[in-house]
Amino acid sequence: MLKPELLELLCCPRCKGDLRYDEAAQTLTCTSCGRVYPVKDDIPIMLADDEAGG
């Protein structure tokens, strides 16, 4: 589970929107642009497509 203090600091790297954490799905979803970021082992993976090496 992500700590609430961490969630307060994070924002979408694409549009800087707020993020909503879904603990069951282990994802962070941007409330502005809808982009979904996975959370693996309590670590948010927040690379934009052009930064992911693909």
Q: Three-state secondary structure along the chain?
A: CCCHHHHHHCCCCCCCCCEEEECCCCEEEECCCCCEEEEECCEECCCCHHHCCC
Residue 7 is predicted with a pLDDT of 94
The per-residue pLDDT for 1 is 87
What is the pLDDT, as a whole number, of residue 8?
95
CB 15 within 8 A of CB 6: no
pLDDT at 15: 96
- pLDDT 10s digits, 1-54: 899 999 999 999 999 999 999 999 999 999 999 999 999 999 999 987 655 554
pLDDT of res. 23? 96
Is the domain 4-51 a CATH 2.20.25 member? yes
